[in-house]
């Protein structure tokens, strides 16, 4: 057993964040937790490919990063293999078969309010037993393994079982959560989540074990997909749902399937960008925005002149200039408006105009209204946006064979619904909150009721997750993604742009200032410490509403030199426990 002081020291190291890029020629894993990254790298060392590494890391995150790593949620995986073939696995949660489009409405047709995990008043679509979607993570990881893995399934799940059974030193981040839950959580499962055998929350540096989660993971190790969706685990989930008034049944679990889908793709400056297609809005919106940047560079680049009202540069705007931020915000405004109007689950909305949306012609149409000197106006009488969860997690993997995997997974809110089935040891998502909850009501008070993303039985809720791979001549050169709810698309977009257009190395691209505009509310969020006050004033003069925030995104990225194969990994300094680990 480790001495407590050594454990505390390791814990302190664990929480210090990753200030330096990691370089390696053989394999790289970047995730929100160092132990999980190390699990993934060991798999690569043992001969596993990037898919194997990603699966093992994802299961390890379900143990060491329970706020977002999960087996009770869902996500998306983007793969590019060494031959340049790209594909994706969609393991987004689905609405239970008993769900209906008005399930979160009160008798007057308003979005019902309920009590959240901390006794807070919140909307019913984001809290309580009915906010849980049918989990997809185990199905997705299993499908990825069946189609693209190379080591045995058991080998990939076992490290997570070991971490759950033997425990690991609780980081300061998790210990702070444990204290908060003990003091404030109103859900027994959450309140007791970090308890040790003695029935008290583990402290920073103490070894925290999860024997119930270990047992659940053993079922998954031994029975694969069926270990979660049939048998003991499924029976317990269904029984719990019946008892608590939830909707998920044995049939929901038995019928859940992860789906392999074509990625969406676009080109930018000689590179090919691959990302997640609907039911994530991430890939389509990011490619639309990259196309608009291309259009802006072509149509305005050489022709721009300095005027009294604004100052313009030729070609690409100077990085971090007022025009740079203005252009990004205007591009985001247009991309997010399209996202809201057009995107949903492709299995339910067959006419979704994805091909048109990612065409350069469409970008040119959208940019026809772009004024280089003045902010446009988003029409809030027509539309507004709901808050969505900012607690998701991303992992990037590259192997020595030339394969790369970009995987984002989520419980929606941090620790999801806060609910869990007694005896199973894992948290359930609250992903039903990502559907449009009030049909037909789209207003400035914060509701979206447009049809593509309304609740239907078996349907996947629209996501913003944007796991992305960029290739050059068929070879992956960037693997990246981020948590952050609706800000995800913009933080990934800006990081990719920083690398491709501004030639920043991956660490700089991740640390560089980020802004966020999502059409409505009509405002620019910006990282306060990274944008100069003078630029903020100029942007306000152009008509933008500027709102400072501490941080946007928590990116996990790898860049790969196509000549030498050298990989550079970087975990955003905003991730307290994250790490890039290579070998």
Please identify, using beta-carbon distances, which residue of 280 and 403 lies nearer to ligand GLY: 280
Please identify, using beta-carbon distances, which residue of 132 and 172 lies nearer to ligand GLY: 132
Residue nearest to ligand GLY (CB): 463
Cα–Cα dist 22/387, whole Å? 35
Total residues found in the chain within this entry: 583
Please identify, using beta-carbon distances, which residue of 272 and 464 lies nearer to ligand GLY: 464
Q: Quote the tokens at residue 249.
A: 């049944």
CB of 482 to ligand GLY, least distance (A): 11
Please identify, using beta-carbon distances, which residue of 167 and 389 lies nearer to ligand GLY: 389
- Can you list the positions of beta strands (E) in 281-423? 392-398, 404-410
Span interacting with ligand GLY, options 6-14, 231-239, 460-468, 558-566, rule CB under 6 A: 460-468
Please identify, using beta-carbon distances, which residue of 68 and 397 lies nearer to ligand GLY: 68
CB 159 within 8 A of CB 55: no
Please name which of 461, 462, 519 lies closest in space to residue 490, comparing C-alpha atoms: 519
Among 210, 392, 571, 574, binds ligand GLY (CB under 6 A): 392
Span interacting with ligand GLY, options 83-91, 358-366, 376-384, 463-471, rule CB under 6 A: 463-471
Residue partners of 507: CB distance under 8 A and separation at least 6: 20, 21, 568, 570
Please identify, using beta-carbon distances, which residue of 32 and 388 lies nearer to ligand GLY: 388
Please identify, using beta-carbon distances, which residue of 227 and 263 lies nearer to ligand GLY: 263
Annotate each residue in 364-383 with x if it binds ligand GLY (CB under 6 A) or - if it does not, as one string.
--------------------
CB 60 within 8 A of CB 163: yes
Span interacting with ligand GLY, options 31-39, 64-72, 108-116, 386-394, rule CB under 6 A: 386-394
CB of 68 to ligand GLY, least distance (A): 9
CB 255 within 8 A of CB 95: no
Among 403, 442, 464, 468, binds ligand GLY (CB under 6 A): 464
Please identify, using beta-carbon distances, which residue of 272 and 393 lies nearer to ligand GLY: 393
- What's the burial of 350, exposed, middle or buried (CB within 10 Å: 0-12/13-18/19+)? exposed
Helices assigned H by DSSP within 46-193: 50-64, 137-148, 153-166, 172-184, 188-191
Question: Binding to ligand GLY by residue 463, rule CB under 6 A?
Answer: yes
CB of 394 to ligand GLY, least distance (A): 11
Please identify, using beta-carbon distances, which residue of 412 and 507 lies nearer to ligand GLY: 412
Strand partners, 271: 268
* Backbone region of residue 561 per phi and psi (left: phi > 0; alpha: psi in -120 to 50; beta: other values): beta
Annotate each residue in 467-506 with x if it binds ligand GLY (CB under 6 A) or - if it does not, as one string.
------------------x---------------------
- Residue 159 DSSP SS3: helix
Among 81, 388, 511, 527, binds ligand GLY (CB under 6 A): 388
Span interacting with ligand GLY, options 195-203, 311-319, 388-396, 564-572, rule CB under 6 A: 388-396
CB 37 within 8 A of CB 575: no
Span interacting with ligand GLY, options 97-105, 181-189, 458-466, 521-529, rule CB under 6 A: 458-466
Q: Quote the tokens at residue 168.
A: 């690991």
Cα–Cα dist 325/327, whole Å? 5
Q: Quote the tokens at residue 84.
A: 């340049």
Strand partners, 581: 29
Half-sphere exposure of 573 (CA within 13 A, CB side): 13
Rg (CA), the chain: 23
CB of 109 to ligand GLY, least distance (A): 26
Annotate each residue in 399-438 with x if it binds ligand GLY (CB under 6 A) or - if it does not, as one string.
-----------x-x---------------------x----
Active site annotation includes 392:
yes
Number of residues located near ligand GLY, criterion CB under 6 A: 10
CB of 389 to ligand GLY, least distance (A): 5
Question: Binding to ligand GLY by residue 465, rule CB under 6 A?
Answer: yes
Span interacting with ligand GLY, options 319-327, 462-470, 474-482, 501-509, rule CB under 6 A: 462-470
Q: HEC states along 104-126?
A: CECCCCCECEEECCCCCEEEHHH
Q: Which of 22, 249, 392, 466 is catalytic?
A: 392
Residue partners of 40: CB distance under 8 A and separation at least 6: 29, 31, 53, 54, 56, 57, 60, 395, 397, 581
The residues that are catalytic are: 392
Contact set with ligand GLY (CB under 6 A): 388-389, 392, 410, 412, 434, 463-465, 485
């Amino acid at each position: 057993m480790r001495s407590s002081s050594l454990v505390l020291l390791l814990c302190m190291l664990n929480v210090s964040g990753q200030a330096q890029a990691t370089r390696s020629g053989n394999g790289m894993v970047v995730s929100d937790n160092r132990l999980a990254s190390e699990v993934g790298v060991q798999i690569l060392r043992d001969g596993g490919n990037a898919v194997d590494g990603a699966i093992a890391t994802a299961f390890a995150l379900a143990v060491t990063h329970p706020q977002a790593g999960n087996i009770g949620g869902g996500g998306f995986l983007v793969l590019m293999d060494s031959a340049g073939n790209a594909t994706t696995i969609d393991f987004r949660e689905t609405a239970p078969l008993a769900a209906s489009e008005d399930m979160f409405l009160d008798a007057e047709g308003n979005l019902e309010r309920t009590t959240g995990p901390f006794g807070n008043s919140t909307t019913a679509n984001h809290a309580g037993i009915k906010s849980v979607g049918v989990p997809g993570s185990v199905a997705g990881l299993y499908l990825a393994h069946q189609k693209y893995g190379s080591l045995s399934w058991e080998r990939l799940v076992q490290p997570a079982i070991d971490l759950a059974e033997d425990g690991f030193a609780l980081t300061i981040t998790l210990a702070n959560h444990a204290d908060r839950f003990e003091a404030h959580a109103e859900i027994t499962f959450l309140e007791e989540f970090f308890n040790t055998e003695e029935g008290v929350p583990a402290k920073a540096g103490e070894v925290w074990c999860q024997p119930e989660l270990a047992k659940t993971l053993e079922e998954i190790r031994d029975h694969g997909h069926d270990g979660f969706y049939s048998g003991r685990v499924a029976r317990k989930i269904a029984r719990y749902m019946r008892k608590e008034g939830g909707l998920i049944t044995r049939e929901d679990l038995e019928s859940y399937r992860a789906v392999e889908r074509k990625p969406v793709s676009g080109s930018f400056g000689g590179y090919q960008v691959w990302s997640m297609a609907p039911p994530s809005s991430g890939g389509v919106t990011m490619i639309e925005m990259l196309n608009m940047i291309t259009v802006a560079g072509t149509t305005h680049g050489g022709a721009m002149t300095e005027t009294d009202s604004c100052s313009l540069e030729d070609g690409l705007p100077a990085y971090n200039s007022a025009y740079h931020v203005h252009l990004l915000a205007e591009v985001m405004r247009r991309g997010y408006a399209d996202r809201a109007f057009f995107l949903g689950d492709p299995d339910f909305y067959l006419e979704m105009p994805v091909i048109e949306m990612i065409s350069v012609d469409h970008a040119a149409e959208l940019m026809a209204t772009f004024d280089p000197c003045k902010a446009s106006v988003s029409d809030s009488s027509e539309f507004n946006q709901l808050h969505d969860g900012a607690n998701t997690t991303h992992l990037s993997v590259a192997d020595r064979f030339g394969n790369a995997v970009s995987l984002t997974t989520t419980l929606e809110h941090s620790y999801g619904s806060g609910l869990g089935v007694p005896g199973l040891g894992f948290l359930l998502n609250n992903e039903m909150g990502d559907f449009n909850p009030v049909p037909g009501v789209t207003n400035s008070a914060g509701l979206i009721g447009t049809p593509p993303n309304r609740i239907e039985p078996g349907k996947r809720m629209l996501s913003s997750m944007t796991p992305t791979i960029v290739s050059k001549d068929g070879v992956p050169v960037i693997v990246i993604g981020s948590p952050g709810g609706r800000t995800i698309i913009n933080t990934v977009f800006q990081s990719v742009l920083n690398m491709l257009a501004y030639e920043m190395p991956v660490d700089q691209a991740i640390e560089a200032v980020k802004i966020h505009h999502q059409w409505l509310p009509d405002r620019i969020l910006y990282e306060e410490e990274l944008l100069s006050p003078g630029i903020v004033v100029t942007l306000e003069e152009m008509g933008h509403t500027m709102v400072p925030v501490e941080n946007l995104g928590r990116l996990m990225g790898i860049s790969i030199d196509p000549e030498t194969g050298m990989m550079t990994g970087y975990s955003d300094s905003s991730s307290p426990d994250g790490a890039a680990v290579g070998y």
